[in-house]
Structure 1
Amino acid sequence: MTNELWRWSAQDLAKAIRNRDVSSREAVQSCLDRAESLNPVFNPLTEIYADQALRAADVADAAVQGKHALGALHGVPVTIKANADLAGTATTNGVVAYRDLVARENNPAVDNWIKAGAIVIGRSNVPAFSWRWFSDNDLHGRTVNPFDAARTPGGSSGGAAVAAALGIGPLAHGSDQGGSIRYPAYACGVAGLRPSQGRVPGYNATQATERPVASQMAATQGPLARTVADLRLGLAAMSAGDARDPWWAPAPLDLRQTGDSRRVALFTGTSEFRAHPAVGEALRRAASWLQDAGYIVETAEPPCFDAAARLWLDVLMNEAAGSMQREIERAGDRAIQNAYQSMLAHTTRLDKEGFIQAMAMRTTILREWGRFFERYPVLLMPVSFDLPFRIDQDQQGKDVMAAMLRAQSPLISTAILGLPGLSVPVGLAEGVPVGVQLVAGRFREDLCLEAGEAIEARAGWSVLERLAA
């Protein structure tokens, strides 16, 4: 069975390695063999670190033999997204001009996984600048959705999602500023958690300048995996504090209290934002499963939903119209340049005063969502209002981009508010995965994960079994 260790969950591998039932070398080698077989076909990884990973696995096994204190991910193989600093490797972010941008230190989230004992086996692919809901670029090529090559694997953590779905490591590192964890998880049939802003520390020393303020409020890092239990494990290891991130908050991972409401708001769309029938059916199934688990589910619309989705464009795109736009024009590939221009066509250009007012409006909207969560601690909503996009759909001009932005409003509205969101697979529709999203108040990942496990237990979904069918 050791050659099938790539099938195991991170939780099971960590326990077996700690108990010396299997070795870290065996687990790492199994995932490396899986990568050797499938990476040429699906291209989830931009780099594979076989020799380094096996040496690290041997060190991990020696530590087990020596009965040293072991971290929660001791000996477990993982992948790291190409936009996060990993010491000694290039943080390419899918950009040809960054192919030699070698990091001298780890991103704090990466550091936390390594300190917890994880073994990095490779880097996962992204779009250029990690700024599309697709994962291809001129430097590393295209990542292929294992369910349907004509559909996106999602972005920007598309390589991470495909690697997890295929068994190339049970845990994958991702990041999310506008759905970049949740959408690839949705498109590839795995689970993905966007933590609250401030939950997981982040910092890239390779960045020439500090990230602008709206990006700091929206951007997070989090795990992707085949099970919600593995997301719990990955989050716990990833969220340790680090002085390099002044936004990090020492919030407990479990804030549940006796008497916490189990009321869930079911949101399927508005008059402007309507869900694809298969997405609506997935939501109804998930709602019934939550009711079976003892939740009270009521139809309700979160406040200022349209305004929150619009706010993402108003603040992030206006912010990006400075240095980032110049860098995209200088170093970006044709795909990111086209997609960026199509997004910009739907962005109201704001002056200084307009931008200040938009940032102030974020607080107003977030306050209303906070009141909403007092009545409904969990919000059940789409990941996207549409099934996974067709390849290069964002290359078809501004009118197509308008429909895409409407479809992605459940992702961008929650991202700009800094809220946690969990993408959970439910089944298949038109040959591709379909899932649902669970959102809660700030630092209430525990509520999302608990509800996600209730759905997962009843869905009977196994991405490895579906891909093998």
Structure 2
Amino acid sequence: MASTDIWQWSAVETAAAIRARQVSAVEVATAHIARLHAANPALNAVVVDLTDSALETARACDRAQAAGADLDILHGVPVTLKINIDIAGQANSNGVVGLADNIAPGDSPIAANVRGAGAVILGLTNTPEFSLRAFTDNPLHGLTLNPWDPAITCGGSSGGAAASLAAGIGAIAHGNDIGGSLRGPAHCCGLSTIKATQGRMPAFNPGAAVERPLMAQLMSTQGPLGREVADVRLGLEVMSRRDPRDTWQAPAPLVGPPVNRPIKVAVAPIPPDMQADPAVLALIRQAADHLADAGYAVAEVATPDISVAWRLWADLIATEIETLQAAQMRAMGGADFNRALDGFVKLATLLDGEGYMKTLALRARIVREWVMFLEDWPLMLTPVSVKPPWAVNADLGGDAAVREIFWNDFRFTSALSVLGLPAAATPVGLVGGHPVGVQIVGQRFREDLCLDAAAAIEARVGVLTHQLWARE
């Protein structure tokens, strides 16, 4: 094993060690529980402690293995789940005080898939109110800190998931992403992730009173965070298992047909109006060099207009929020949430019924432009953010701060959400001691190619969290 400390093992290593009887599921769970209780008080990343039931699950895993049962691929592997999906018997609070007693009547598909694969659920991780900020803080559970530096954000909305995983709590973390909520926290915490193709991951909350708005159905996706790319693959395989309750899920294979070699990678140009940190841009160029060194054909080429895609994303999602959700959100949300939401809505053009339908129709044309581009360039390398991780709660600095974060810094990440394309994120290094990641975008249902490229970068950069733990 890479380390004598069980909590530092990758998910792949952990599953293999349990299967080979080198360690029991109870020993693994005990090590992760000890790590949770040692690291979490300073971070506030895991906000619902399920360690008692985790030990019960681990004991059941060991009994099943002793009885000769077939072992699924996450058998005995400790994981965390984000607190905005239904987990039977637990409150799906979504960071909202008024939802603190919103007890789920059953498991969502992700929870069911993770349980079914034999995983041990350690706890539920923090999220901002309604999972609608890029910063993880709320009046119900409080602020989650970044284990790299408490002065910088862990990102959002899957910030609790990312902070806990980077700190060594669990081997895989679950999160979700509608505008960067997996990729942003991965960037901030030195992790890898995949925002899967729309239709890959099943989503449904048995306790939900109404269906999600249309753009949430077309843009939001569940997904895994991992310290290593191989763990992201493992989480993707489990979380994407079929659930008939999601009417959008497509039965696409996880590995697609061969593509022409060398695989072409387009390095997306930075728009001239975007203010970028030179050190971040240098790391993006370094990531391109890593891919070239790995045998990819890398070139900077003109892509479809990222700013047009961002505008499409902002206008559609803001219109749906204002029309269908904002009244309840504003009534239940705290002052910080309302301030951040107001700042975001001001970035968008709110559409009337005709404008919404026309813009939704326009989305098909914009998606087609990108899909056709990716026919020639199967992968595209972009920033996650053109800046290092922001200060804690930087979006509370006024409307100008919100605009800088979403329009300037995070434009590539949020814009690509509206397209429904797969996008991996993986670390490329440190700026001022803080992690920085890149995004690798692929053709529909080619998560395998995105993760192959992420793994090639990881092979040359190393696993960033090892540097974090070396500081202890």
TM-score bracket, normalised by the shorter chain, equals over 0.9
| CA displacement at 1:275 relative to structure 2 | 2.7
Partner of 1:17: 18
Structure 1 range deviating more: 59-68 or 385-394: 385-394
User: In 2, are the aligned partners of 1:126 and 1:136 still within 8 Å (CA)?
Assistant: yes
User: In 2, are the aligned partners of 1:91 and 1:99 still within 8 Å (CA)?
Assistant: yes
Task: String of CA shifts for 1:142-171, please: whole Å, max 9, x gaps.
Answer: 000111211110000001001110110010
Partner of 1:377: 378
User: In 1, are the aligned partners of 2:77 and 2:119 still within 8 Å (CA)?
Assistant: yes
Change (3 A) 1:323 1:48: same
**C-alpha distance in 2, partners of 1:16/1:40?**
29
| CA displacement at 1:256 relative to structure 2 | 3.3
Structure 1 range deviating more: 1-10 or 305-314: 1-10
Question: Residue 5 of structure 2: SS of its match in structure 1?
Answer: helix
**C-alpha distance in 1, partners of 2:78/2:348?**
41
| CA displacement at 1:361 relative to structure 2 | 1.1
User: In 1, are the aligned partners of 2:228 and 2:463 still within 8 Å (CA)?
Assistant: no
Partner of 2:239: 238
Task: String of CA shifts for 1:167-213, please: whole Å, max 9, x gaps.
Answer: 10010000000000000011000111111111010001222211010
Structure 1 range deviating more: 309-318 or 264-273: 264-273
Partner of 2:466: 464
1:176 aligns with 2:169: no
User: In 1, are the aligned partners of 2:48 and 2:124 still within 8 Å (CA)?
Assistant: yes
Structural mapping, 1:255-270, within 5 Å: 255-257=256-258, 259=260, 262-270=263-271
Q: Which amino acid aligns with 2:468?
A: R
Task: String of CA shifts for 1:244-288, please: whole Å, max 9, x gaps.
Answer: 000000000000315355000011411122432122111111111
1:346 aligns with 2:354: no
Partner of 1:62: 63
Question: Residue 381 of structure 2: SS of its match in structure 1?
Answer: strand
1:292 aligns with 2:293: yes
Task: String of CA shifts for 1:84-131, please: whole Å, max 9, x gaps.
Answer: 111111101000111111111111012111101111010000000000
1:451 aligns with 2:453: yes
| CA displacement at 1:289 relative to structure 2 | 0.7
User: In 2, are the aligned partners of 1:256 and 1:447 still within 8 Å (CA)?
Assistant: no
Structural mapping, 1:31-110, within 5 Å: 31-110=32-111
Partner of 2:419: 417
Partner of 2:31: 30
Partner of 1:250: 251
| CA displacement at 1:355 relative to structure 2 | 0.5
Q: Which amino acid aligns with 1:167?
A: G
User: In 2, are the aligned partners of 1:146 and 1:188 still within 8 Å (CA)?
Assistant: yes
How many residue pairs align between the two structures? 469
Question: Residue 169 of structure 2: SS of its match in structure 1?
Answer: coil
User: In 2, are the aligned partners of 1:261 and 1:377 still within 8 Å (CA)?
Assistant: no
| CA displacement at 1:384 relative to structure 2 | 1.0
User: In 2, are the aligned partners of 1:268 and 1:283 still within 8 Å (CA)?
Assistant: no
**C-alpha distance in 1, partners of 2:394/2:259?**
47
Change (3 A) 1:328 1:418: same
User: In 2, are the aligned partners of 1:268 and 1:274 still within 8 Å (CA)?
Assistant: no
RMSD across aligned positions (CA): 1.3
Task: String of CA shifts for 1:375-399, please: whole Å, max 9, x gaps.
Answer: 1100000001221111121111111
User: In 1, are the aligned partners of 2:79 and 2:120 still within 8 Å (CA)?
Assistant: yes
User: In 1, are the aligned partners of 2:227 and 2:463 still within 8 Å (CA)?
Assistant: no
Task: String of CA shifts for 1:385-444, please: whole Å, max 9, x gaps.
Answer: 221111121111111211112211111111111111111011110221011110111111
Q: Which amino acid aligns with 1:237?
A: V
Question: Residue 348 of structure 1: SS of its match in structure 2?
Answer: coil
**C-alpha distance in 2, partners of 1:317/1:186?**
24
Unaligned runs of 5+ in 2: none
1:436 aligns with 2:438: yes
Partner of 2:164: 163
Q: Which amino acid aligns with 1:292?
A: D
**C-alpha distance in 2, partners of 1:193/1:18?**
26
User: In 1, are the aligned partners of 2:429 and 2:464 still within 8 Å (CA)?
Assistant: no
Change (3 A) 1:107 1:79: same
**C-alpha distance in 1, partners of 2:336/2:4?**
39
User: In 2, are the aligned partners of 1:423 and 1:437 still within 8 Å (CA)?
Assistant: yes
| CA displacement at 1:317 relative to structure 2 | 0.4
Q: Which amino acid aligns with 2:22?
A: D
Q: When the two structures are superposed, what TM-score results if normalisation uses the length of structure 2?
A: 0.97
User: In 2, are the aligned partners of 1:232 and 1:449 still within 8 Å (CA)?
Assistant: yes
Change (3 A) 1:156 1:77: same
Q: Which amino acid aligns with 1:152?
A: T
| CA displacement at 1:13 relative to structure 2 | 0.7
Identity within the alignment, % = 43
Question: Residue 141 of structure 1: SS of its match in structure 2?
Answer: coil
Q: Which amino acid aligns with 1:52?
A: S
| CA displacement at 1:214 relative to structure 2 | 0.8
**C-alpha distance in 2, partners of 1:466/1:74?**
27
**C-alpha distance in 1, partners of 2:240/2:270?**
32
Structure 1 range deviating more: 159-168 or 385-394: 385-394
1:365 aligns with 2:366: yes
Q: Which amino acid aligns with 2:281?
A: G
Q: When the two structures are superposed, what TM-score results if normalisation uses the length of structure 1?
A: 0.98
**C-alpha distance in 2, partners of 1:421/1:336?**
27
Q: Which amino acid aligns with 2:420?
A: G
**C-alpha distance in 1, partners of 2:259/2:426?**
26
Question: Residue 241 of structure 2: SS of its match in structure 1?
Answer: coil
Task: String of CA shifts for 1:287-315, please: whole Å, max 9, x gaps.
Answer: 11111110000102320211100111110
User: In 2, are the aligned partners of 1:20 and 1:64 still within 8 Å (CA)?
Assistant: no
| CA displacement at 1:11 relative to structure 2 | 0.5
1:141 aligns with 2:142: yes
Question: Residue 78 of structure 1: SS of its match in structure 2?
Answer: strand
**C-alpha distance in 2, partners of 1:291/1:450?**
13
| CA displacement at 1:3 relative to structure 2 | 7.7
Task: String of CA shifts for 1:341-397, please: whole Å, max 9, x gaps.
Answer: 001112212111110111111110110001110111000000012211111211111
